[in-house]
Amino acid sequence: MWKKLKKLILIIILFNIIFIVWGKFFNPPITITQIGGILEYGKLERDYISYDEMGSLVKKAVIASEDQKFFIHNGFDYDAIEKAMKKNEEGKKLRGGSTISQQTAKNVFLWQGRSYLRKGLEAGYTFIIELIWGKQVILERYLNSIEMGRGVFGVEAASLYYFGKHSKDLSKSEAAWIAVMLPNPKKYDPKNPTSYLRKKHNWVLKQMNNISLP
């Protein structure tokens, strides 16, 4: 029994190593979240594109909105994690301190939801992809796999779905609208924004001026 268990563990570890290395060169064929989108909405709208094909504005907008320290941290923003923990302890609205790297690890390898098991696995994957993939690959995988609407995944599919144009052709304002949906893409709609979304959109537009891409 113990030998079979060890063999199974070794197979799982080997599979993960192969998948992580493979992921440095290719986008995931499908993710658990994308499968969920198919089951819930009966569709999967996505269009994987390369880092260069995305254009600079949507990258700046997403970094401005989600993780302004992306290019300087090691996968974890400890200040953001500490602030999130304090907010949660105070009983205020639950918020996370996840970086783009952590979100990429979750979106590509894991499932949605909150649990200590998933967060632990997420931390492990985050550490590894930071070492093996590097920032550009992480950002490309993130922007290609992130949920952007009901059954819509990735910035290219979202750009075509909401604005009828490729992501590289988005205006600064349109790129910011794409970015502000990310906390709750199933709820938010850039064509019918709430007052909160308008305020965040204006904030992201200003923050984009401070973002530079390497």
Q: Is the pLDDT of residue 181 over 60?
A: yes
Share of the chain above pLDDT 90, in %: 66
CATH no., domain 18-208: 1.10.3810.10
Rounded to whole angstroms, the Cα distance separating 212 from 70 reads: 11
pTM: 0.89
Domain borders along the chain are: 18-208
Share of the chain above pLDDT 70, in %: 93
Handedness of CA 100, 106, 112, 118 (dihedral sign): negative
Please write the tens of the pLDDT for every residue from 44-68: 999 999 999 999 999 999 999 999 9
Per-residue tokens: 154:
């990735």
Identify the CA nearest to 180 among candidates 144, 134, 146: 146
Please write the tens of the pLDDT for every residue from 73-95: 998 887 777 776 666 666 655 55
Mean pLDDT, residues 8-18 taken together = 83
Helix H or strand E encompassing 4: helix 2-23
Task: Write the DSSP symbol of residue 46.
Answer: E
